A and B are shown apart, each in its own frame.
Chain A
Amino acid sequence: MIEVRQLTKVYGGRRAVDDLTFTVQPGRVTGFLGRNGAGKSTTMRMILGLDRPTGGQSRVAGRPYTRLNNPLGTVGSLLEARAVHGGRSAYHHLLFLARSNGLSRRRPAEVLEMAGLSDVAHRRVRTFSLGMHQRLGLAAALLGDPPILILDEPVNGLDTDGIRWIRALVTGLAAQGRTILLSSHLMTEMEQTADHLIVIAGGRLVADTGMRALIAEHSRGHVRARSPHPDRLAATVESAGAAVVPAADGTLRITGLSPATIGDLAAEHTIPLYELTPCDETLEAVYTRLTSDAAAGDPATADPRQAVSAEVVR
């Protein structure tokens, strides 16, 4: 379990992380989402004891990271994959990490095998592609077989095979009951991997919820209605409190009323209906709006129209 309480980091007056509180539970993949510069990496660095918080605290497995007796056996982490000495081989990079925590000398070869790097184990890291760096970073995270994993943008630079490998890996590790915090700036990456989402913007928490609940709680869905008398239908639902935007194809986008209410109203006023379709925003659209709302400072002033462009039929 990872616990973050009122964590704050101020860099020269700018609040990179602002009063952030959340808990990462074991047994599922928790996606840590936010745009570039939202404060994801800074938060992870503070959890790992690399950066000192301006305020608040974080705990892993019940302790501050810097008090762990067996750091690599408790938390595996991947921050910047390129943070490796280019002149050292992948094997020796893992060997020094293993030695620093008293792990077995055989362990580096085992995790290199898991990461598919056995063939290049003794090649100097300078010659590695970004994808190979990411695999080495993951191998390092798995070195101590830790119950908690903190991975910052692990999918960056990986090809399709690599992405599939990471997905299977983290899903499998979560199924074993481990705690997994996985950051990304792309919702599309998370849709297929994460069970739970923590979304931040401007260093602040904007959502801490399940994948489906995010849609349920934050989607600004609408109902698409088609009628031979769109003007009458629009006037009727508007007088019942709905907002109506005519679409280019002649349909109406109605927000604020359920499909059932719209159908009843149409029947009451004998307006024929040809189509009545509830539409949800995509995760991507909800995420984009949530993060831009928070960046703008006030969720209430956000423009719903920008989210309507992407939609999905339920």
Chain B
Amino acid sequence: MTAGLRRAVAAEWVKVYSVRSAVATLAMVPLLTVGIAVLVIVTGSLPPGETILAAGLGNAVPAQLVAGAFGAMLVAGEYGSGTIRPTLAAVPRRYLVLTAKALVAFLTVAVVALVAAGGAYLSGVLMADTARNPVGGVLPALPGFAVALGTVAMLGVAVGGLVRHPGAAVTAVTAILLGPLLIGPLLGDAGSGLIDASPTAGLQKLADSGAWPTLALITGYSLALLAVATVALHRRDA
């Protein structure tokens, strides 16, 4: 990491921990993830044999939405408050700012998501009737969940850089995450491909080793969108 990027990351990290709403948003991730796992356990709604982790993490789409909104607000929130101008005056090499935001978004959300998935695992161990529904393997579920949410936070950063209005940026991330699920079924074969490639598919496949190719695909297009957002950031007036 160059000195410039290291400094930009340090600055972005201060921004995250110094605003109550950002911390509260991050706290939603474990709350939602563990909450959904507990809900799955106590309702006993799983077919016999399905694992707690597959069901709990697979349905943690709300936690993924929060991750996307967190990333989007990291950029769009600055346009909303105007902080982007002091930020860019302090770091005029704009790609450093967006790269630092993407790194901080990915790392903080991934760490929080790992803790959240650990919480879901523990609640399975402690509460579930494991004879009927086993808890499920830690791999690839826990690190996979961390990557699935961290990547979506990074996707959110890219969307926030392109759509600068806070409300519009959060709506756009939500549309990217839920759109395929809502529209896919209407499109036949093309639609199922769309659903398979959508960020939420990364969650559904966490129970088996099929998770990694899907996660790699999601990470790939998130990085591509981040590159587009970086070019746009350099071209547009702040």
Interface size class of B (residues with CB under 8 A): 20 to 34
A79 at interface by CB-CB < 8 Å: yes
How far is A106 from B84 in the complex, measured between Cα atoms in Å? Answer: 23
Q: Report A-chain residues with C-beta under 8 Å of the C-beta of B20.
A: 87
B43 at interface by CB-CB < 8 Å: no
Q: Report B-chain residues with C-beta under 8 Å of the C-beta of A72.
A: 90
Q: Report A-chain residues with C-beta under 8 Å of the C-beta of B92.
A: 48-49, 65-66, 68, 71
How far is A160 from B226 in the complex, measured between Cα atoms in Å? Answer: 48
Q: Nearest A residue to B87 by beta-carbon distance?
A: A100
Pairwise interchain contact A140-B7, C-beta atoms closer than 8 A: no
B11 at interface by CB-CB < 8 Å: yes
Q: Report A-chain residues with C-beta under 8 Å of the C-beta of B11.
A: 96-97, 99-100
A92 at interface by CB-CB < 8 Å: yes
Pairwise interchain contact B77-A101, C-beta atoms closer than 8 A: no
Pairwise interchain contact B237-A52, C-beta atoms closer than 8 A: yes
Pairwise interchain contact A85-B88, C-beta atoms closer than 8 A: no
Pairwise interchain contact B10-A99, C-beta atoms closer than 8 A: yes
Pairwise interchain contact B89-A84, C-beta atoms closer than 8 A: no
A50 with B237, Cβ < 8 A, contacts A71-B90, A97-B90 known: yes
Q: Report B-chain residues with C-beta under 8 Å of the C-beta of A100.
A: 7-8, 10-11, 87, 90-91
B21 at interface by CB-CB < 8 Å: yes
Pairwise interchain contact B83-A83, C-beta atoms closer than 8 A: yes
How far is A72 from B91 in the complex, measured between Cα atoms in Å? Answer: 9
Pairwise interchain contact B18-A84, C-beta atoms closer than 8 A: no
A80 with B82, Cβ < 8 A, contacts A68-B92, A71-B91, A100-B91 known: yes
Q: Nearest B residue to A42 by beta-carbon distance?
A: B237
Q: Report B-chain residues with C-beta under 8 Å of the C-beta of A297.
A: none
Q: Report A-chain residues with C-beta under 8 Å of the C-beta of B86.
A: 79, 83-84, 93, 97, 140
Pairwise interchain contact B238-A50, C-beta atoms closer than 8 A: yes
Q: Nearest B residue to A85 by beta-carbon distance?
A: B81
B-contact 0/1 string along A83-108, CB 8 Å cutoff: 11111110011011101111000000
A51 at interface by CB-CB < 8 Å: yes
> Which residue of A51, A65, A77 is within 8 Å of B237 (Cβ)?
A51
A-contact 0/1 string along B17-54, CB 8 Å cutoff: 01111000000000000000000000000000000000
A226 at interface by CB-CB < 8 Å: no
> Which residue of A51, A96, A102, A140 is within 8 Å of B238 (Cβ)?
A51
Distance from A43 Cβ to chain B, minimum over Cβ atoms (Å) = 13
B126 at interface by CB-CB < 8 Å: no
Within 8 A of B (CB), among A29-48: 45, 48
A15 at interface by CB-CB < 8 Å: no
Within 8 A of B (CB), among A52-89: 52, 65-66, 68, 71-72, 75, 77, 79-80, 82-89
Q: Report B-chain residues with C-beta under 8 Å of the C-beta of A87.
A: 19-21
B1 at interface by CB-CB < 8 Å: no
How far is A66 from B235 in the complex, measured between Cα atoms in Å? Answer: 13
Distance from B23 Cβ to chain A, minimum over Cβ atoms (Å) = 10
How far is A89 from B3 in the complex, measured between Cα atoms in Å? Answer: 26
Pairwise interchain contact B10-A84, C-beta atoms closer than 8 A: no
B132 at interface by CB-CB < 8 Å: no
How far is A72 from B7 in the complex, measured between Cα atoms in Å? Answer: 13
How far is A168 from B148 in the complex, measured between Cα atoms in Å? Answer: 55
Q: Report B-chain residues with C-beta under 8 Å of the C-beta of A50.
A: 85, 88-89, 237-238
Between-chain CB contacts (< 8 Å), 10 pairs? A49-B92, A65-B92, A66-B93, A68-B92, A85-B15, A89-B18, A93-B83, A93-B86, A97-B90, A100-B7
Show the binding face of A for B, using Cβ within 8 Å: 45, 48-52, 65-66, 68, 71-72, 75, 77, 79-80, 82-89, 92-93, 95-97, 99-102, 140
Show the binding face of B for A, using Cβ within 8 Å: 3, 7-8, 10-15, 18-21, 77-78, 81-93, 235, 237-238
